[in-house]
Amino acid sequence: MQILILLIQIAVLVAIVLLHVAYVTYFERKIIGHMQVRMGPMLVGWHGLLQPIADGIKSFFKEDIVPEQADKPLFLAAPIICLVAMMVSVAVLPFAKGWALADINIGLLFIFAMSSLASYGIILAGWASNSKFTLLGALRSMAQVISYEISLGLSLVGVMMLSGSLNLTEIVEAQGTSFFGMYIFSQPVAFFVFFVAMLAETNRVPFDLPEAETELVSGYITEYSGMRYAMFFMAEYIGMFVMASIGVVCFLGGWNGPFEVSIFPPIWFILKVYLIMFIFIWIRATIPRYRYDQLMAIGWKLLIPLTLGNIFVTGLVKASIN
Amino acid sequence: MESNGIVEKLREKFPDEVLADYQHLGQNCVLIRRDHILDVCRYLRDECSMNHLMCLCGVDNSTRTSTVDSFSERFEVVYQLYSIATKQMIRLRTQVPEDDCSIESITSLWIGADWLERECFDLMGIHFDGHPDLRRILTPDDWEGHPLRKEYPLRGDREWIGYEELKAKSKELSKFDFHSRDHEKGEHE
Amino acid sequence: MSKAMTVDIPVSAGDEDHYRIKMGPQHPATHGVLRVDLDLQGETILECVPHVGYLHRGFEKLAEHRSYVQNLVLTDRLDYIAAMANNVGYCEAVEKLLGIEVPLRARYLRTMVCEMSRISGHLLGLATHALDIGAMTVFLYCFRERETLLELFAELCGARLTPTYTRLGGVRQDVTHSIMMKLERFVNEFPANIEEYETLIDTNRIWLMRTVDVGTLSAEDAVSLSITGPSLRGSGVDYDIRKHFPYAAYDLVDFEVPLGETGDTYARYRCRIEEMHQSNHILRQCIEQMPPGPIIGDDAPDLVMPVKQGRKLEVDAPARQGLIKLIEDRETFMEGDIYVPTEVPKGELGFYFISDGKGSPYRMHIRSPSFIHIGALKTMAKGVMVADLIAIIGTMDVVLGECDR
């Protein structure tokens, strides 16, 4: 019985997440459209509301082209690895009190592990396509993920030290319900580093080098088409969602809000996540792209020293208070 | 645009090289012997500050009928030099005979002459001695003939060999098309 | 099914760690059908060999078989981003060769359309340059203003991209009051729009990191590479054909030539922005000073369709034959050669004509700025990174239609 309930819960979560992804693309296209003096999708449904569904159907029925010289098993597996790794990390997110599918003790570590695993998918895609542009994209992605994973992890060490836990629910509870209890006020440096690393980790502008369209055509997804292309796309947007959720959980007080909405507890969580997503999109509409070596320089020369300093100061303060 | 001074200087410096000079519509033109074009250009660039190479092109004189112009050989290379500092322009024309269709390259003076000379070689078939990388540029590498020569027809009687190869290849690959099986019979009939 | 053979260029011993990549001719950042063969070590370009010719249509050969009037339409297809400027360049050259006088109003109209196309050319250059570097919004902002200009072109002569607006001896149609009003509104609004682009990228840290000290050209190198236009002026060389060989009404209007200092990508970008301000200034003067009078010269009556009341505007086949015949019979075609440069948005567009007294040119050579700018890529891209190459292609502002002719 318990297993059945769990399965239903999983099915519901997966369905919601997939639908959510579809409408995040709509959200993004509309916002970017209006920022760029155009309308965004307008044709399918009222103000293009059915556009994501049409896109989904289109990519589902498109031919799945596998290049003749590709490493076939890896080529076919890569998008699945990417998508699964990202989907799994959704399981540990606490949407509200008790609303986590798997409230495990090492939630934060689990998410890091999964997002690193997703980069395997990217690297394999780049390698297996047997194309020069995809390989360059994969190399860039590998370098980027490795260097920014470090600063992402280190930036959250401060949060772990303050809350004393890796469990996401406990991190939220440690921040309390007051406005100034949010870790964004006690850990501003960590939040800054986390935010930058989050952009890099999800391959968003200005760190979208692995798929820099004007340089590498489409990076590691150049050779993909149809549903497999859509899988990478979904993985990217779920990644955005997961990273924004961690940001909310660790720095913005999770599901706590100014007042409680008993009908739908996760409302504050979702609003905060969408606030961060909006900033993602806003940045995409505004900022140009970094160069590869500049990206590396920021990661290693700026973010990592900053986080290390932050950990040191946090430790000192915590020790002195105790 | 009074650049007579330069023409005179040129005559003084290279009395044997300058064959003739004339002025047409306010533009000065000097006919230069082919052999020392590099020296003339270097002199113009360094001594007369003619630092901007505006234009370099080849001309085929084979069907040219003229009562005023003087030309003796089949081909001609025309250099258009300009001095940004003194606002003077001069045109150098050098005759290149058909049986020894080559001239010294001026890429050592202007890096930008590289592609202009390649274009001239490609379309006119004039060789530039000392050019670092004299290949075809606008036409494919396996193109036959030099299109801007007067005997080259405006419309050829056959397709370029590369296009034929491409057509053969596309025909071979068309068996993977969606519709090829339906239309195969109709096509071969 | 048999496994296909892997076709690869053999790599010589010692170069095994080099990565060879063919960027183009189908690539989002090469502005058309430019192919760049790259020899990479990591992401650093060891050697960059541009290949052109994919769009070669043999204009120079074609021109020898067509009359001077017919060749006019070929010039639209050179730099299709700013075709008006090419029309003017061609007409100026042929008029000088044939000795045709252009009335003052037509000269002002030419200046006006030239500057309009300069603005639209620079806008597209900036738009694609910014898009290449990743600033997507600038792209659409620029296209908004370009659209206004293209609509004006359409109202002026019926075409947006290939207008063929000028005629030998003048221009095709007079401007209407509505066009002048719209243009005036554009001229008044445009400086604020330029500021809008500047707020997005001008002091943007990432934009500065991507453009400052990238693709630097010293003044000597730029001149030696025969680079012209804003790309040359970014290196601080004061060479603008509009000042050096004034054509149309450029000697009657007042404008400055903006110069850069550093010669890097950022300086060239600033040059283009300043040039748009100057073009706007010229447009305003054209609107204010536009003199009345005929738009086509008296001594070129048989080179254009006569404007008569009640006459059908379309030329039927026999009439067109007659037109060509008239042109061929003209005795005013002088023998001789001439080189006439004009300043198009990309740089110096020169036409070298040799006439042997017949109705079509004996030889027409087009000195196209894009061709020479792409030739300069090889020198400029040595030792930079792939992303910088994209920025350099963008900043040189090349159009392949003009390059390949």
The dihedral sign for the CA sequence A74, A80, A82, A85: negative
Q: Residues in chain B, how many?
A: 189
* Mean pLDDT of all residues in B129-133: 84
**Does B37 reach chain C within 8 Å, measured CB to CB?**
no
Nearest chain A residue to C134, by CA: A288
> For residue A37, what are its two tokens?
């003096």
Q: Check CB contact under 8 Å for C96 and B52.
A: no
CB B29 within 8 A of CB B93: yes
Q: Provide the pLDDT confidence category of residue B179 given band limits of 50, 70 and 90.
A: low
A301: DSSP letter: I
Q: Residue B183: is its pLDDT beyond 80?
A: no
Interface predicted TM-score of the whole assembly (ipTM), two decimals: 0.81
Question: How is C166-227 classified by DSSP, letter by letter?
Answer: EETTEESSPPPHHHHHHHHHHHHHHHHHHHHHHHHHTT-HHHHHHHTTSS---HHHHHHTT-
Query: Which pLDDT does position C333 carry in this prediction?
Result: 63
Q: Provide the pLDDT confidence category of residue C9 given band limits of 50, 70 and 90.
A: low
C185-193: long-range contacts, CB 8 A cutoff, minimum separation 24: C186/C145, C186/C148, C186/C149, C186/C152, C187/C280, C187/C283, C187/C284, C187/C287, C190/C119, C190/C145, C190/C276, C190/C280, C191/C277, C191/C280, C193/C141, C193/C144, C193/C145
Measure B18 CA to nearest chain C CA, in Å: 18
pLDDT digits (tens, 9 = 90+) for A144-171: 888 888 888 888 888 888 888 888 888 8
The dihedral sign for the CA sequence A303, A306, A308, A314: negative
Residue B129's CB is within 10 A of a number of other CB atoms, namely 10
C333: DSSP letter: P
B102 bridge partner residues = B127
CB B86 within 8 A of CB B78: no
Query: Which pLDDT does position B23 carry in this prediction?
Result: 78
Q: Provide the pLDDT confidence category of residue C332 given band limits of 50, 70 and 90.
A: low
Q: Residue C354: is its pLDDT beyond 50?
A: yes
Element (H, E) at C318: helix C317-329
Measure B100 CA to nearest chain C CA, in Å: 22
CB C159 within 8 A of CB C113: no
Residue B22's CB is within 10 A of a number of other CB atoms, namely 16
Cα separation, A85 vs A235, whole angstroms: 8
Low-confidence ranges of chain A (pLDDT < 70): 212-214
SS3 content of chain B, % helix, strand, coil (to 5): 30, 25, 45
**Does B49 reach chain C within 8 Å, measured CB to CB?**
no
Q: Provide the pLDDT confidence category of residue C159 given band limits of 50, 70 and 90.
A: confident
The candidate with the shortest Cα–Cα distance to A94, out of A237, A241, A255, A277, is: A255
Q: Provide the pLDDT confidence category of residue B1 given band limits of 50, 70 and 90.
A: very low
Q: What domains are there in chain B, each with its CATH number? A: 4-153 (3.30.460.80), 158-189 (no CATH)
Buried/exposed A97-123: b ≥16 CB within 10 Å, e otherwise: eebbbebbeebbebbbebbebbbbbbb
Set of chain A residues whose Cβ sits within 8 Å of the Cβ of C31: none
pLDDT digits (tens, 9 = 90+) for C70-96: 788 888 888 888 888 888 989 888 888
Element (H, E) at C365: strand C363-367
Q: Around B122, how many Cα atoms within 13 Å sit in the side-chain half-sphere?
A: 24
Quote the percentage of chain A above a pLDDT of 90: 0
Q: Which residue has the tokens 């999109």?
A: A281
Q: Residue C2: is its pLDDT beyond 80?
A: no
* Phi, psi (degrees; rounded to nearest 5) at A261: -105, 105
Query: Which pLDDT does position C7 carry in this prediction?
Result: 52
By CB atoms closer than 10 A (0-12, 13-18, 19+), residue A5 is exposed
The candidate with the shortest Cα–Cα distance to A65, out of A55, A74, A57, A75, is: A75
Mean of the per-residue pLDDT values of chain B: 80
What dihedral angle (degrees, nearest 10) is formed by the CA atoms of C59, C62, C67, C73? -40
* Mean pLDDT of all residues in B174-180: 71
B20 bridge partner residues = B31
B161: DSSP letter: H
Cα separation, C155 vs C72, whole angstroms: 20
Q: Provide the pLDDT confidence category of residue C10 given band limits of 50, 70 and 90.
A: low
Nearest chain C residue to B26, by CA: C338
Out of B83-92, B98-107, C321-330, which region has the weakest mean confidence (pLDDT)? C321-330
Q: Around C21, how many Cα atoms within 13 Å sit in the side-chain half-sphere?
A: 25
> For residue A280, what are its two tokens?
């993602």
CB A197 within 8 A of CB A152: yes
> For residue C209, what are its two tokens?
């990191």
**Does B116 reach chain C within 8 Å, measured CB to CB?**
yes
Nearest chain C residue to B90, by CA: C339
Q: Check CB contact under 8 Å for B57 and C61.
A: no
Cα separation, B150 vs B148, whole angstroms: 6
Q: How many B-C residue pairs are in contact by the CB < 8 A criterion?
A: 110
Q: Residue B137: is its pLDDT beyond 60?
A: yes
Cα separation, C228 vs C75, whole angstroms: 19
Nearest chain B residue to C373, by CA: B112
Of residues C3, C21, C134, nearest to A288 (C-beta): C134
> For residue C355, what are its two tokens?
């006439």
Nearest chain C residue to B80, by CA: C339
Q: Check CB contact under 8 Å for B24 and C375.
A: no
Quote the percentage of chain C above a pLDDT of 90: 1
pLDDT digits (tens, 9 = 90+) for C201-219: 888 888 888 888 888 888 8
pLDDT digits (tens, 9 = 90+) for C259-303: 888 888 889 898 999 999 999 989 888 888 888 887 777 665 455
Q: What are the distances in angstroms from CA A125 to CA A79, A136, C23?
A: 7, 11, 20
Set of chain A residues whose Cβ sits within 8 Å of the Cβ of C390: 214-215
Neighboring chains of C (3 or more beta-carbon pairs < 8 A)? A, B
C287: DSSP letter: H
The dihedral sign for the CA sequence C100, C103, C108, C109: negative
The candidate with the shortest Cα–Cα distance to A26, out of A276, A247, A277, A287, is: A277
Residue C192's CB is within 10 A of a number of other CB atoms, namely 8
Q: Residue B181: is its pLDDT beyond 60?
A: no
Q: What domains are there in chain C, each with its CATH number? A: 60-303+331-404 (1.10.645.10)
Cα separation, C401 vs C405, whole angstroms: 6
Set of chain A residues whose Cβ sits within 8 Å of the Cβ of C385: 291-293
CB A130 within 8 A of CB A69: yes
